[in-house]
């Protein structure tokens, strides 16, 4: 059932996230780690992975901010929204990409 697939995805995702956190514990504070991982290029790369999912659409955004004073390392992109069909989100191959946390105006 749909409920069972969502529950399974939640369990598998949280396990992978804990493994990732443990393997990446370099002593850097979490705030610093967020900003070092989500550069403009990393956010745009993530967006492009989502847009490769069948049926996904970019509603708006998806571009770096213009005339900014924010360094590129801080992921300065325009607010972005991407639609991904629910049936694609629930597929194991897509679930990780769709549920990746981005510290930016990105949904």
By the 8 A CB rule, do 23 and 59 touch?
no
By the 8 A CB rule, do 9 and 91 touch?
no
pTM over 0.75: no
Q: Tell me the per-residue pLDDT of 25-52, one tens digit each, with 9 for 90 and over.
A: 555 555 555 555 678 888 889 899 999 9
By the 8 A CB rule, do 16 and 96 touch?
yes
Q: Tell me the per-residue pLDDT of 55-102, one tens digit each, with 9 for 90 and over.
A: 999 999 989 888 888 777 777 888 888 999 999 999 999 988 888 877
């Amino acid at each position: 059932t749909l409920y069972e697939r969502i529950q399974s995805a939640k369990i598998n995702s949280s396990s992978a996230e804990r493994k990732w956190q443990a393997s990446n514990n370099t002593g850097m504070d979490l705030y610093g780690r967020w900003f070092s991982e989500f550069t403009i290029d990393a956010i745009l790369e993530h967006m492009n992975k989502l847009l490769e999912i069948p049926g996904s659409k970019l509603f708006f955004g998806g571009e770096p901010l213009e005339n900014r004073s924010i360094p590129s390392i801080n992921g300065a992109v325009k607010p972005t929204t991407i639609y991904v069909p629910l049936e694609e989100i629930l597929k194991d191959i897509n679930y990780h990409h769709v549920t990746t946390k981005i510290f930016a105006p990105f949904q």
